[in-house]
Amino acid sequence: MNPEDLKYTEAHEWIGFQKGAYVVGITDFAQEQLGEITHVDLPEVGAKAQQGDPVAAVDSVKAWSEVYAPVSGIVVAVNEALENEPERVNKDPYGAGWFFKMGDVNVADLDALMDAAAYREFLNKQDH
């Protein structure tokens, strides 16, 4: 996924449309803050989530963190490769390190998210 084409949350999740579903992951900034990721808890396929609900979790050498649904919808797929290779999130957060895909999403929720430029501005404000 091209980071410039994605939408972002203040909790550092990204979402983008690809091949009929909305793909969700955590940002490069988030994986950098977490450090080496050692385990990923993925949601169940078919799970319903409201925007902002915790749906997955990440464990790293530095911290444990929840991953929130950026939009309301249904989990239609999970990245099972992360169960054996959680380091994919560190190596390729916008590609092989995706967490889950959502369908039947509330498209209006997307409007509330930041585009790439707004997310960069958000990160710059976090540094101060």
What's the pLDDT tens digit per position in 75-89?
999 999 999 999 999
Assess contact for 123 and 32: CB atoms under 8 A. no
Which runs of consecutive H residues, i.e. helices, occur in 1-128?
A: 28-34, 81-84, 88-91, 107-111, 116-126
Average pLDDT value for the chain: 96
What's the pLDDT tens digit per position in 5-15?
999 999 999 99
Q: What pLDDT shows up at residue 23?
A: 98
62 to 10, 32, 89: CA distances (angstroms): 20, 10, 15
Q: Mean pLDDT over residues 55-74, rounded? A: 96
User: Does 127 have pLDDT greater than 70?
Assistant: no
Assess contact for 87 and 125: CB atoms under 8 A. no
Domains of the chain plus CATH, in order, are: 3-121 (2.40.50.100)
Q: In what order do the strands lie in the sheet with 100-103?
A: 7-8, 13-18, 21-26, 100-103, 73-78, 48-49
- pTM of structure: 0.95
